Amino acid sequence: MKNSALSRREFAALIMTAPALLNSKQTSSDAARVKIDTGRTVGQIDEKIYGNFLEHLGRCIQGGVFDEGSPLSDTDGFRRDVLTAARNLHVSLLRWPGGNFSSNYHWKDGIGPRDSRPRRLEMAWGTIEDNRFGTHEFLNYVAQLGAEPYICANLGTGTWDEAQQWVEYVNFEGDTATTRLRKTNGRDKPWSVKYWGLGNEMDGPWQMGHRTAEDYGKFALEAAKLMHWTDPTIKLVAAGSSNFRPGADWTGWNRTVLQYLKEHIDYLSLHCYVGNPENDYYEFQASTLELADRTRVAKGIIAEALSGAPGNRKIYIAWDEWNVWYRARGDAQRGRRILEEHYNLEDALVVSSFLNTFLNNADIVKIANMAQLVNVIAPIFTNEKGLFLQTIYYPLQLFASNCRGVALDLATECPTYATKNRRAVPYLDFSAAYNTDGTLVLNVTNRHRDRALDVAFEAEDKQFAGEFQVSEVNGPDIKAENNLDSTTVKANVGKPVSANGKILKCTVAPHSFTQLKGRLA
């Protein structure tokens, strides 16, 4: 009988072939199973995860949502076509005025008669800011959009008094010099804005007013106290980690910030952008796993910070900047026409996996803002004659339109592939939303570039009731884009899928995002 031990030659051959085995794209089975138990929930889905973001950057506001003198704009200067597209996106929470811009924005420059507002050197993005779109314009726009406003205060070059007085101007009902100024400018009643950010990306050396974690914690603490004393009902968002560069201690930053602010904040802000600069499709599709990892780590840091606090004290995560961003990036991005990414199908698939991740962490992720709304790394793209919807618009629209209720904790089995950094990346990425009326929404991203994959959904505690409607975001290939002349990638309504008692079977196409919507009995 041959000795079962490997010879040196056999061992060497195995070592030589190991990288090839590790990087093999396909496992032995193409079938996937998903077990659904409505008693196993992750958490309540907060509609604020379908938020978006406006910054005074490039053509996001000027020439985007706000275009005075354009025949496409209303009497307030708001682009009517952009407003319609944003409404159809079901934007829940709109963040403003930045972003890096907020770290040198002084809100009093943006109130009063438009023609009298000062023109300022804008150092974040290398332009002149005319301040014609300010607090009143933003809050009027949000009201027309039907979203909630989220204002990010200047904790870069700004002061405690400035942050406090902005809350007073916007939210306070009493008779003060600041509220009289609001009334003089045409607004009698306060807007009662609930969500306020304590600065933007203060951990980043690129930020105006960048501080160490301890210095930011001390500074933000005093701002938070003054803002809360002005309006105790507001919800505050601390500037958590945005700097994930090699050598940056992002966990240490969050721990220190929470030490100072844990009794005053409701959310910890995190930012995440991903890209595909090496044109490696499978590596790119796996990039959202880093988002999931960072979410779990931040959740643990929050739990550590709240250890010993009263049981009703909660701090949630706000991914208030997230998107694909890598083409229009770098030191050359200065001026008015900048950060204008043109998105393709593979970007839309990554966006769908971002949204799956938010649902799969619904217990801790309660705010998310895609950056940004128009033209600048955005789902909506305009010129002076019209607009088109980019590929990334469609998965966000499907989630925001349909995923309500609770996120379900799914048990999944599916084939995997390996990348340079991960041994087993699932080809299929899932999430599910279940509402009290029995509506079930199943989300499936098929990362496989070439193969359709079969999925069997198994209801554990209920039965599928009737047909499930199918929507699919796909295109002829992974590099397919939309433009002003044609829409190649969009959400198409597919043939309904019939369920058989406890089993719902479907086949998801290569490089696609599929959403199935139906009911459980």
Task: Detail the DSSP E strand segments found in 257-414.
Answer: 267-274, 316-324, 365-370, 380-382, 387-389, 406-408, 411-413
- The Cβ-side half-sphere exposure at 367, using a 13 Å CA radius, reads 30
Tokens representing 326 are: 């890598």
φ, ψ for residue 436 (rounded to 5)?
-65, -20
Q: Does the active-site annotation cover 278?
A: no
Residue 396: closest CA among 501, 298, 322? 322
- Secondary element (H or E) of residue 395: helix 393-402
Backbone angles phi, psi at 319, to 5 degrees: -80, 75
Q: How much of the chain is in helix, strand and coil states, percent to nearest 5?
A: 30, 30, 45
* Tokens coding 10: 């056999």
The answer to whether 264 and 292 are in contact (CB under 8 A) is: no
Q: Exactly one of 321, 341, 472, 481 is catalytic; which is it? A: 321
- For residues 349 and 200, give the distance between their C-alpha atoms in angstroms, rounded to a whole number: 28
- CA–CA distance, 486 with 488 (Å, rounded to integer): 6
Q: Residue 122 catalytic?
A: no
The active-site residue, picked from 122, 129, 201, 481, is 201
Bond from prior residue into 99 cis (ω within 30 degrees of 0):
yes
**Would you please indicate which residues are annotated as catalytic (active-site) residues?**
201, 321
